[in-house]
Amino acid sequence: MYSSENQLLKIANPELFTNKRQLSSMLKQLFQRIGFQSRNESDFPIDLVSLEKQISYIFDDKSIILQALTHRSYLSLAQEDITESNERLEFLGDAVLDLIVTEYLFKNFESENEGTLSQKKSVLVSRKALGKIADEMDLGRFLLVDRGEEKTGGRNRLSNLANLFEAVLGAIYIDRGYIVAEKFVQRFLISRQEQILAAKSYFNYKSELLEYSQARGWGLPKYQVIDESGPDHEKKFVVSVTVADAGEAKGEGKSKKNAEQRAAKNVLKKIMEN
């Protein structure tokens, strides 16, 4: 039986549940075209029992998790509609994840200001963090991709893994609602939050500055290389960044990219201290 959240979703968008039945029919046809003759769980192209054990969750509706695992390349095998890939569930999961993490930070970091909370959130929901977690969960082995995507490493690609984590979360939300989705995020992401926030490699200060600036109507940050020195094998760049009238700062690095990251970090610190 669906949760109250799912009942609300059904009322707001009855086509959502109809599409799930259509998805089951589409997958049956797809599996038959590529050699699977039955719609029984044992004949699915993945081991559902192993997957559910891996994510500590058993789905009421198996078709929704199959959609979450379906990369757009896989549907090209049967020339099916791309809306049946996991991209819509990824879109939903992204929004659900954003709310869960925001609520967690709001309740557990009461003494920190909005800027610091935004910084923590951007790290926790980053592609890099989600992709690494999905890799540790070994979710990539369940991703349905075509041979081309497989050969180019798509099953283990960071972006695909991050998208897969969000799609699985979206599927759990549809299957049983917010509270169960929150438990999934608590178990696999928030339980690692100290480790993730302590690792500087997860921080993307340019993305954070862009989001922070646009949210306040300041427009795009402007980066400019103001100095470049040293031999080719040991270059040093100095970059300045300006954010409307809110602040300006410089950063140094061995590449333009590193210098821009440090400049963005420095201007964020300057803005938040004012």
Higher pLDDT residue, 22 or 126?
126
**Residue of 61, 80, 90, 166 with catalytic role:** 166
Q: 257-263: long-range contacts (C-beta < 8 A, 24 or more apart)?
A: 259/225, 260/206, 260/223, 261/204, 261/205, 261/206, 262/205, 263/223, 263/239
- Report pLDDT digits (tens) over 35-84: 333 344 545 667 889 999 999 999 999 989 999 999 988 887 655 666 68
Output the pLDDT for position 51: 93
Average pLDDT for 84-94? 93
pLDDT higher than 50, residue 16 = no
Same domain, 192 and 225: no
Active site residue 166: yes
| Two tokens, residue 125 | 């929901």
Distance CA 262, CA 136 (A): 29
Q: If you ran DSSP here, which 8-state letter would residue 239 be given?
A: E
The secondary structure element, H or E, covering residue 225 is: strand 222-229
Q: What is the mean pLDDT of residues 146-162?
A: 89
Other Cβ atoms less than 10 A from the Cβ of 201: the count is: 9
pLDDT at residue 200 above 80?
no
The Cβ of residue 200 has, within 10 Å, a number of other Cβ atoms equal to 8
pTM: 0.66
Q: Is 60 among the residues known to form the active site?
A: no
Beta-carbon contacts of 252 under 8 Å, excluding residues fewer than 6 positions away, are 236, 237, 238, 239, 259, 262
Considering the domain architecture, whether residues 184 and 210 belong to the same structural domain is answered as: no
Q: Is the pLDDT of residue 177 over 90?
A: yes
Which pLDDT score is estimated for 7?
40
Per cent of the chain over pLDDT 70 is 80
Same domain, yes or no, for 56 and 164? Answer: yes
Write out the residue range of the structural domain in which residue 128 sits: 4-198
- Tell me the pLDDT tens digit for each residue of 232-273: 888 899 999 999 877 899 999 888 888 998 898 888 888 776
Q: Residue 211 has what pLDDT? A: 80
Query: Alpha-carbon distance 189 to 130, whole Å?
Result: 8
Count the neighbouring beta carbons within 10 Å of the beta carbon of residue 126: 18
Claim to verify: residue 139 and residue 257 sit in the same structural domain: no
114-124 and 87-108 are packed helices; what angle lies between their axes, rounded to 10 degrees?
140
Residue with tokens 């759990």: 172
Overall number of domains in the chain: 2
Reduce the DSSP state of residue 250 to 3 states and report it: strand
Structure tokens at 112: 């920190």
Residue 165 amino acid letter: F
- Check residue 84 and give its pLDDT: 80
Residue 269 maps to which CATH number? 3.30.160.20
Q: Are residues 113 and 14 in the same domain?
A: yes
Q: What pLDDT does residue 113 have?
A: 86
Residues 17 and 58 occupy one common structural domain: yes
Look up residue 188 and give its two tokens. Answer: 């696999």
Query: Could you tell me which residue, 91 or 199, shows the higher pLDDT?
Result: 91
Residues 120 and 242 in one domain: no
Q: DSSP secondary structure string, 125-146?
A: TSHHHHHHHHHHTTGGGG-B--
Structure-token pair, residue 159:
């972006």
User: Looking at the structure, do residues 133 and 211 belong to the same domain, yes or no?
Assistant: no
Residue 97 pLDDT level (bands cut at 50, 70, 90): very high
107, pLDDT greater than 80 = yes
**pLDDT at residue 261, as a whole number:** 87
The strands making up 247-253's β-sheet, listed across from edge to edge, are 222-229, 236-243, 247-253
Residue in 115, 157, 122, 116 with CA at minimum distance from that of residue 140: 157
Which domain-ending residue is among 198, 225, 260? 198
Average pLDDT, the chain: 81
pLDDT for 186 beyond 80: yes
Whether the CB-CB separation of 25 and 19 falls below 8 Å is answered with no
Based on the fold, state whether residues 185 and 242 are members of the same structural domain. no
Marked catalytic residue, from 80, 84, 90, 94: 94
Considering the domain architecture, whether residues 67 and 170 belong to the same structural domain is answered as: yes
